[in-house]
Amino acid sequence: MKYLTPPRFVLAVVCGLFVLPLAFSDDRPNILWIIVDDMSANLSCYGETAIETPHLDALATRGTLFRNAFVTAPVCSTNRSSFITGMYQTTIGSHHHRSGRGEKKIHLPDGVRPVPEYFQEAGYYTSVTGWPFRDRDNSGKTDYNFEWNRSMYDGPDWSKRAEGQPFFAQIQLRGGKHRGGDLETTRKFVKQMRRDFGSATATSAVKLPPYYPNDPVLLEDWAAYLDSVRLTDHLVGQVIDRLEKEGDLENTVVLFMTDHGISHARGKQFLYEEGIHVPLILAGPGIVQGETRTDLVEHIDIAALSLGLAGIEVPNTMQAQDILSPDYRPRSVIFSARDRCDETVERMRAARTDRYKYIRNYFPNRPHMQPNRYKDAKSIVIALREAHAAGTLNAVQDRIFAPTRPEEELYDLRNDPFEINNLADDPKFKSELAMMRKHLDTWIVRTGDQGFESEAQYDSDMAEYARSKDPEQVAILKRNIALMKQWAADGK
């Protein structure tokens, strides 16, 4: 694979205390991350046929598309904490969703730093913003679970950088969140799409995975989700247009990714493909044009590859790998982890090769669909629970409501891409199960997986959650917290 390394910038040591760039170098590329919420790889360049995504297809054509990119956590704050540091969230203690928000704070281990700090010290202008851009300080989503200094971002937009100064910028898009969580919000969004785009995706174009029923609510929601992908594509086109108009496109590496998969019953928060398989597209200087890569990559790698493209040395302690480097050795296995999400206590770990997926459930005596205030309010989950109560789901669709789960799950992705047939108890796959167990056990030890959350940390964060002004929501939260504690006391 061809890889063009930009010249490394020159450093000067001043008084033996500070390391500063001598001058801004015009040939150092800008690095732009476009980060999208709640969206799987439902793009035409990834094979989606119900909609078209021309702007992202064009980006892939002039760059490199990674067909097998995976997040290390299927929920936003944990995954964002991970890729902004280039570290597994389980290593740095940020693996519980929206943790460190109460009295008990989470601090990064010694030697671990957010990537913007490296760029800033190298002379880059650093920014984070939403889109369309609004002139507010640091208005873009961060959602990191650890304590961090907001000064690592110079501002909300790169337009305020010095002349000739390269930028490292993050643009945050709402993605799948545009459709909302209930039917009323979904229908308002679809009405907006018809008004602004002239059309909306028809439910007849939707083909749901076989583990979901063809329920009208689910079909309507998925069609709106596809429209949120269309809107995302349009917004990406606006960003590219701005870069071109301002003369920055040719010297900017654009990286498009999502923070995890679609928000659905088996998607967001879970370790099935729907939750962890995501799009990753790069284009710009130093990126091979028109290439499709099929090797396994993890989203923490964007930290290392971005530093590498800027000519900044990647710290030896960083777990991310520069997947564009000439000496990069492709992974044979990737890892992902799910822990507490909001009030819902959970622990799952997964290892995935190019063929097999292994999931370990640390709470097998709890249902897949544990009570969760956030998810249970969604119209799609309500519809699924109603179908379960009515007995209209088939065995595969009803599995998520079983009162218990297997301790281990093993799927042959080549023959079972929807992860329906659990092979963990099949003697024919004994050696594959042993191999995947070993992969996961080795990773847990090697990376220092911090595992379960302390009760004190849980209580601290739940106190913060309970600050909601909606008494009904607080009541639901407290009921779920009490259930989590009761289950723990029962050894469940």
Q: How far apart are CA 228 and CA 207, in angstroms?
A: 16
Averaged pLDDT, 287-311: 97
Q: How far apart are CA 189 and CA 213, in angstroms?
A: 23
The dihedral over CA atoms of 98, 99, 101, 103, expressed in degrees to the nearest 10, equals 160
- Helix 471-489 to helix 455-465 angle (10° resolution) is 170
- Coil vs helix vs strand at 231: helix
- Is the pLDDT assigned to residue 25 strictly greater than 60? no
Residues with Cβ within 8 Å of residue 89, at least 6 apart in sequence: 72, 73, 78, 79, 81, 82, 95, 145, 337
CATH of 11-329, one of 3.30.420.40, 3.40.30.10, 3.40.720.10, 3.20.20.190: 3.40.720.10
- Is the pLDDT assigned to residue 17 strictly greater than 70? no
- Is the pLDDT assigned to residue 48 strictly greater than 60? yes
- What's the pLDDT score for residue 137? 62
Are 245 and 59 in contact, with CB atoms under 8 Å apart? Answer: no
Q: What is the pLDDT of residues 311-323, one digit of tens each?
A: 999 999 999 999 9
Continuous segment of H or E residues that includes residue 307? helix 301-309
Q: What is the pLDDT of residues 425-448, one digit of tens each?
A: 999 999 999 999 999 999 999 999
Q: How far apart are CA 392 and CA 276, in angstroms?
A: 28
DSSP codes of every residue in 391-450: T-S-HHHHGGGSS---SEEEEETTT-TT--S--TT-GGGHHHHHHHHHHHHHHHHHTT--
Averaged pLDDT, 457-484: 95
- What's the pLDDT score for residue 138? 56
- Coil vs helix vs strand at 34: strand
Q: What is the pLDDT of residues 107-118, one digit of tens each?
A: 999 999 999 999
Are 66 and 293 in contact, with CB atoms under 8 Å apart? Answer: yes
**Which CATH architecture group holds 338-489?**
2-Layer Sandwich (3.30)
- What's the pLDDT score for residue 424? 98
- What's the pLDDT score for residue 403? 96
Averaged pLDDT, 205-210: 98
- Is the pLDDT assigned to residue 4 strictly greater than 50? no
Q: What is the pLDDT of residues 118-169, one digit of tens each?
A: 999 999 999 999 998 776 665 799 999 999 999 999 998 899 999 999 999 9
- Is the pLDDT assigned to residue 15 strictly greater than 70? no
- Is the pLDDT assigned to residue 9 strictly greater than 60? no
Residues with Cβ within 8 Å of residue 251, at least 6 apart in sequence: 26, 27, 29, 30, 166, 284, 285
- The neighbouring-strand residues paired with 127 are 155, 169
Averaged pLDDT, 173-180: 96
- What's the pLDDT score for residue 24? 54
Whole-prediction pTM: 0.93
- Is the pLDDT assigned to residue 57 strictly greater than 80? yes
- What's the pLDDT score for residue 468? 83
Domain range list for the chain? 11-329, 338-489
- What's the pLDDT score for residue 18? 39
Q: What is the pLDDT of residues 317-368, one digit of tens each?
A: 999 999 999 999 999 999 999 999 999 999 999 999 999 999 999 999 999 9
Are 226 and 190 in contact, with CB atoms under 8 Å apart? Answer: no
Q: How far apart are CA 123 and CA 119, in angstroms?
A: 7
- What's the pLDDT score for residue 469? 83
Same fold, 11-329 and 338-489: no
- The neighbouring-strand residues paired with 341 are 344
Which residue carries 């035409």 as its tokens? 44
- What's the pLDDT score for residue 136? 64
| Joined tokens for residue 332 | 């044979």
Are 295 and 110 in contact, with CB atoms under 8 Å apart? Answer: no
- What's the pLDDT score for residue 316? 94
CA–CA distance from 431 to each of 161, 222, 354, 435, 451 (Å)? 56, 38, 16, 6, 27
Which residue carries 């009405």 as its tokens? 191
Q: How far apart are CA 66 and CA 295, in angstroms?
A: 8
| Joined tokens for residue 5 | 């390394």
- What's the pLDDT score for residue 135? 67
Buried b vs exposed e over 31-69: b needs ≥16 C-beta within 10 Å? Answer: bbbbbbbbbbbbbbbbeeebbebebbbbbbeebbbbbbb
- Is the pLDDT assigned to residue 10 strictly greater than 50? no
Q: Which amino acid is at 229?
A: V
Q: How far does the chain reach from its first CA to its final CA, in angstroms?
A: 50
- What's the pLDDT score for residue 27? 87
Are 329 and 25 in contact, with CB atoms under 8 Å apart? Answer: no
- Coil vs helix vs strand at 485: helix
Q: What is the pLDDT of residues 236-291, one digit of tens each?
A: 999 999 999 999 999 999 999 999 999 999 999 999 999 999 999 999 999 999 99
Are 28 and 6 in contact, with CB atoms under 8 Å apart? Answer: yes
Question: DSSP state, 270?
Answer: S
Band (11; pLDDT cuts 50, 70, 90): very low
- Is the pLDDT assigned to residue 26 strictly greater than 70? no
DSSP codes of every residue in 145-199: SS---GGGS-BS-GGGSPTT--EEEEEEE-GGGGG-SSHHHHHHHHHHHHHHHS-
Q: How far apart are CA 221 and CA 228, in angstroms?
A: 10
| Joined tokens for residue 73 | 């956590």
Q: Which amino acid is at 39?
A: M
Q: How far apart are CA 58 and CA 53, in angstroms?
A: 9
